[in-house]
Amino acid sequence: MSETIENPDIKIETGKIFINGEWRESSSGETFETINPANEEVITSVAKGTEEDANAAVTAAREAFDNGPWGKMGGKERSKVLLRIADKIDEHADELIMRESMDAGKLKRDVTHVDVPHIANMFRYYAGWTTKIDGSVKEPEGVLGENLLGYTRQEPLGIVTGISPYNFPLILSVSKIAPALAAGNCFIHKPASLTPLSAITLAKIMQEAGVPNGAYNLVTGPGGPVGGTFVKHPDVNKIAITGSTETGIRIAKDAADTMKHLTMELGGKSPNIIFEDADLDEAARIAAMGIFWNKGEVCVAGARILVQESVYDKFLEKLVEATSKMKVGDPMDETSDLGPMAGKAEFEKVLKYIDIAKNQDKADLVYGGEPAPVNGKGYYVTPTIFANANNQMRFVREEIFGPVVPVIPFKDFDEAIKIANDTPFGLAAGVQTRDTAKAIRAANLIKAGTIWLNTWHEYDPNMPFGGYKMSGYGREQGKEAFEAYTQTKSIWVGLGK
């Protein structure tokens, strides 16, 4: 274990709501506390938004889209704004890093080298697309045989609300914000109540970058009165959410009454297949990183490790060895590998599943399985490995969202694919083998939105991201994201005789 390193003595002001270019208190005057999971201390208070605040944000966004400068702005001008946002992210990097690390228990080094650069890259990537969202010219004949011209336009949807999760507050917000703004939509952000602090800085960046009033709004607060209002509001055209499958189902039902566009990146239980011909040392390193990165609070974590029987014991030994080198400690410590779970409820959920694995599923605990407080505080859990698991065990089938992984044996290629696909989820998967043809065959057969071959946790703004099955639908990132933030209009022109 590492020693606790005290966070720098910085003052984080009370968080406010940002609507129509103005910072304001909640309409109720109420606030809620956000807690540092590393030491269980209050960081600050944040405005507790209400239904009234949510409605005000929609009104502002609708006015900005219908009558404001953002709704009339061309692609070249939007591109300039997005590039300014990216530059402001670079300028405010230290503030974003500190808030994200303190609020979510994320390793400072990860936020520094992954999260913040990635969100700046996303804005720069989509800035290049603003002038390339166009339609096409057709040559229709028409049922009456007239002389006709046809063409299409790609137009923004209107008002988009992004509901983002607590595990990657910045990345999984910007993956919605950047393409939505690039396409010309107005945006309302509802961040997770567990981790709202970096979203407040992001709204400040939008203001400094010159995003017109109402084109970007932030409402912090609980999912029911705030998120629920957006989901049901007839003037919100789209909901983009990252969250649990249960939440996604509820939103889909509620949004149906107003026929909203939806993109949903939901739960996962991703298989990582280790074939007998893999480089076992490298496979063990990838597997440990695949499940334990960001303390397992990753929707695409390699949460089921499938190992061919002939190398099962040898691989398990190497996996335990790789895991034993990981240091649980304060996220501000550059030598830490796993920080705390993002909150107390998340911490308790992980411990519950460890108990289920041991006492209900009767899997063999071979490493970890304990709370790991640093100097007596914090929501830390040791990375945990269970052997001799099978795909019917409860802790194997349900999403734990923490640093807990079963290691499951399989006989041959066909059985590996069968086990991999035997899940309601389909967000991601991985294959470790020296045989390229085998890897590609497996990738073609696995029902998941992202497949990593001999690697894991690789991301880029130009690569689409999303799930199959109960892991949701729609894609974030890449040019494919525009399919979810625009709509196609067909225009017919009669050219006469």
Can you spell out the DSSP letters for 214-269? TTEEE--S-IIIIIHHHHH-TT--EEEEES-HHHHHHHHHHHGGGT-EEEEE----
Can you spell out the DSSP letters for 63-106? Answer: HHHHTSHHHH--HHHHHHHHHHHHHHHHHTHHHHHHHHHHHH--
The predicted structure's pLDDT at residue 140: 87
Amino acid letter, 430: G
Amino acid, res. 130: T
Which pLDDT value is given to residue 146? Answer: 78
Task: Give the integer Cα–Cα distance in Å for 351 and 355.
Answer: 6
pTM recorded for the entire structure: 0.95
Asked whether the beta carbons of 456 and 479 are under 8 A apart, the reply is no
CB atoms within 10 A of CB 24: 13
Catalytic residues, which ones?
265, 299
Looking at residue 3, what is its pLDDT?
Answer: 30
Q: What is the pLDDT of residue 147?
A: 86
> What CA–CA distance (Å, rounded) separates 302 from 396?
12
Q: What is the pLDDT of residue 5?
A: 34
- Torsion angles phi and psi, residue 84, rounded to 5: -65, -40
Q: What is the pLDDT of residue 7?
A: 44
What is d(CA 19, CA 36) in angstroms, rounded to the nearest whole number? 27
**What parts of the chain have a pLDDT lower than 70?**
1-11
